[in-house]
Amino acid sequence: MKIVMLGAPGAGKGTQAKMIVEKYQIPQISTGDIFRANIKNGTELGKKAKTYMDQGALVPDELVVDLVVDRLAKDDCANGYVLDGFPRTIPQAEALTAALAAQGDKLDYAIDVEVPDENIVNRMSGRRACVNCGGTYHIVYNPTKVEGICDACGGKLILRDDDKPETVQHRLTVYHEQTQPLIDYYNGQGILKEVDGTQDMADVFADIVKVLG
């Protein structure tokens, strides 16, 4: 089963991807991991990617797709994989479809973890992180025993810049502009499956399992 995960930042798609990986024993593929592995191993593709990254430039779509397709050819992907965080744009999606088709292959499911923007802003702006140990909490869903104090080490809790409402709203705007069109794209391919991401984590996963069968 070859799966791509879709959903806004903070929708919980990364968590669901990990649960899919554990249940179905297939690898989770992220471009960050692929870049790091290729650069570390000094592959030709890795060297090309490093040239762009060293200049602070974005790695071109064609090279990203080459790196991803190279990773999908590895033995551990024989029974499928979960793509998380890629593709992000229509050109990337089209290039991936074409590259897979050239090998007589295709994706099976595009799973969209659907959560309204206001839920995401509330969810993320309620997160708190410990300045000492990095432990994370949520003022509603996972509060500390003493407000503002880490349960694990007694450190002070802060609201990270990434989780501030205005930052979250900006990330959501970028998502809607760039990544939301993927939902229409994969719907057009007949592989889109939407699940309600506002439910408990376990219920979201149960819905995904029903889709995957």
Residues tagged active-site: 13, 88, 127, 160, 171
CA distance 54 to 70: 22
Dihedral, CA of residue 32, residue 37, residue 40 and residue 42, to nearest 10: -110
CA distance 100 to 73: 10
Q: What is the radius of gyration, based on Cα positions, of the chain? A: 19
Q: How many residues does the chain have?
A: 213
Instruction: Find, among 185, 174, 169, 130, the residue nearest to 152 by Cα.
Output: 130
